Amino acid sequence: MNILSVLVIIPLLTMLALFVSKGQKFVRTVVTAGFGLQLLCAVAMAVMFLQERAVSDAPMLLCSDTVWYAPFNIHYTVGVDGISVVMILLSAVVAFAGVFSAWNMERDFFAWYSLLSIGVFGYFISLDLFAMFMFYEIALIPMFLLIGVWGTGKKIYAATKLTLMLMGGSAFLLTGILGIYFTSGASSMNIMEIVQTGIPVNHQYWIFCLTFIGFGVLGALFPFHTWSPDGHAAAPTSVSMLHAGVLMKLGGYGCFRVAIFLMPQAAQELSWIFLILTGIGVVYGAYGAVVQTDLKYMNAYSSVSHCGMVLFAILMLNQTAMTGAVLQMLSHGLMTALFFSLIGMIYGRTHTRDIREMGGLMRIMPFASVGYVIAGFASLGLPGFSGFVAEMTIFIGSFEHADMFRRVLTILATTSIVVTAVYILRTVGKVLYGPVQNPEHLKLDDAHWYERFSAVALIVCIVAIGVWPSGVQGIIYDSLAPIVEHLNLF
């Protein structure tokens, strides 16, 4: 069987195994084994991809194709290029780390968690628009339950809002996909085939807008981002991790794989509108984060800023900036997952996320605090961490454009790195340093081994990319070459 399908089958089997498992120990064993195997499989897939890439020039590798529903010529087509490989690795790491952050959760939680993973992995391997859309929906629905049932605070409100907004995006998407299906000359929904036949230019405009906004909602495109603060705040730790770490990347990936790749002329001509929106998002999210008092809200706004950078870079439509965009997805995924896992540790003990009620945690929980400082440094783009590599690639790439409009926007986007430093250091100073605010906190214990494992795994990945970026950067850069070439034909 094709290794890519295995990536969908493992979470499926995990989910099925969970239904028959009893007792928390057993559940933990099943989930750890399942997602551990998934991670191994993802790594094996990456190795196979690299081996095959060395001998093949095809844009998509490890392909396989099965007819699914013959009357509409819908196929289950899978295949990966460097970008999807990177995304799959990210998803596998975050999902695995998330299991450890959710160590004390019950069986049903993990069942939905596995279902969500099926959607995520299926989405990244699909080449058929219909299959892609289906997996996309599979990834969104469990979120409602995961937040609504296991969340905290205004969880029903947040879950409903999140789901409805993303469903609204899906409505745009579905229309867009049908538009692609009926206007392109292709006989199937296979992306690679549609690229060959192309879509008439007059239809590209509206389809581009629909699909870009549709995916953009999930990628926190300004002004469709407001589900993010409420949703993240209400979600349990590991769901926040998976959601901000992986699910938001589904949006960026979709904008890139569908909206821009299939509608190149429209992308060239309309990119300025969305560049303005994403440029605003980058700065706006950063400023918005400065005055937040809830740790999760702060991180959510920070995500708006960082994910805005992803879409911003994609729209620059050149190889360097797009490489930066993918790197930023990867980096933001790891970083924000780390952040949420640490916030979860702190919240689980202090039972507050209000930064005004905390202080001096460094003495009380040194591990969690040091982790938080590291995450903060990564987030504000310190060299040695993945964020720096991603942001610099984006800035250099965006600045390559000779026109003043894009350059001024780039400079505007660079100012966000200063604002990021402001809000990160402000929280670090208030929450971790200083005298202990609440004497009750003195009794709290530091992170447990499973929480440590989750954080260390993510930190190792962040540092590895930050210190030795050329490996992963090379994979992405090379995979983008044919795509950018295709874009530049128009």
Partner 1 sequence: MGFSVYIILVPMLMFLVIGLGSTKLSPRAAGIFGTLGLSVSAVLSYITAFRYFFAEGLQEGIYSSITAWSVEWLRFSDKLHIDMGVLLDPISVMMLVVITTVSLMVHIYSFGYMKGERGFQRYYAFLSLFSFSMLGLVVATNIFQMYIFWELVGASSYLLIGFYYTKPAAIAASKKAFIVTRFADLGFLIGILIISFCTGTFDFGLLTADNASLAVTSMAGGSFLGLSTATWAMTLLFMGAAGKSAMFPLHIWLPDAMEGPTPVSALIHAATMVVAGVYLVARMFPLYLFAAPDVLTLITYVGAFTALFAAIIAIRQTDIKRVLAFSTISQIAYMMVALGVSGMGGHAGEGYTASMFHLFTHAFFKALLFLGAGSVIHAVHSNEMEAMGGLRKYMPVTHWTFLIACLSIAGIPPFSGFFSKDEILSAAFSHDKVVFVVLLLVAGITAFYMFRLYYRIFWGAERQYEKHPHEAPSVMFIPLVFLALLSCLTGWIPFSHFISSDSVPYDLGINWWIAAGGILVSLIGIIMATRLYRRESDLPERIASRWAGFWNAAAHRFYIDQAWLFVTKKIIFRCISTPIAWFDRHVIDGAISGLGTGTEKLSGAIKGIQSGRIQTYAAVFVWGVIIIAVCVFIF
Binding-site ranges for partner 1 (CB under 8 A)? 161, 164-165, 223, 226-227, 284, 287-288, 290-292, 319-320, 360, 362-363, 377, 380, 382-384, 388-389, 392-393, 395-397, 399-400, 404, 410-411, 414-415, 417-418, 421-422, 425-426, 429, 432-435, 469-470, 473-474, 477
What does the block give as tokens for 381?
Answer: 């783009």
CB 78 within 8 A of CB 237: no
Minimum CB distance to partner 1, residue 227 (Å): 8
Q: Between 240 and 320, whose beta carbon lies closer to partner 1? A: 320
Q: In angstroms, what is the minimal distance from the CB of 139 to partner 1? A: 21
Min. distance of Cβ 400 from partner 1 in angstroms?
Answer: 7
Q: Which segments of 184-235 does DSSP mark as H helices, in order?
A: 191-197, 201-218, 227-234
* CB nearer partner 1, residue 273 or residue 418: 418
Name the token pair of 225.
């981002």
**Rounded to the nearest whole angstrom, what is the least distance from the CB of residue 384 to partner 1 in the complex?**
7
The DSSP bridge partners found for residue 66 are 76
Return d(Cα 480, Cα 120) in angstroms, integer: 22
Kindly tell me which of 4 and 424 has the beta carbon lying closer to partner 1.
424
Nearer to partner 1 by C-beta: 185 or 429?
429
Please report, as a single letter, which amino acid is at residue 441.
H
CB of 141 to partner 1, least distance (A): 19
Buried b / exposed e along 59-93 (16+ C-beta atoms within 10 A): ebbbbbeeeeeeeebbbbbbbbbbbbbbbbbbbbb
Q: How far is the CB of 186 from partner 1 (least distance, A)?
A: 33
- Please say which residue, 151 or 397, places its beta carbon nearer to partner 1: 397
Q: Which is nearer to partner 1, 242 or 298 (CB)?
A: 298
Cβ 469 to partner 1, closest distance in Å?
5
Residue pointed to by tokens 């989405």: 123
Evaluate whether 378 touches 338 at the Cβ level (below 8 Å).
yes
When the beta carbons of 45 and 472 are compared against partner 1, the nearer one is 472
Distance CA 191, CA 175 (A): 16
Give the chain's radius of gyration (CA, Å): 21
317: left (phi over 0), alpha (psi -120 to 50) or beta: left
The dihedrals phi and psi of 79, each to the nearest 5 degrees, come to 175, 155
Choose between 16 and 164: whose C-beta lies nearer to partner 1.
Answer: 164
| Alpha carbon of residue 490 to chain centroid | 29
Q: How far apart are CA 484 and CA 320, in angstroms?
A: 10
Within 10 A of 225 (CB to CB), how many other CB atoms are there?
26
Cβ of residue 273: shortest distance to partner 1, in angstroms? 17
Q: Smallest gap, in angstroms, from Cβ of residue 435 to partner 1? A: 6
Task: Cite the DSSP H helix spans in 21-81.
Answer: 24-55
Q: Which is nearer to partner 1, 8 or 417 (CB)?
A: 417
Taking CA 81 as the corner, what is the angle to CA 137 and CA 260, rounded to the nearest 5 degrees?
65
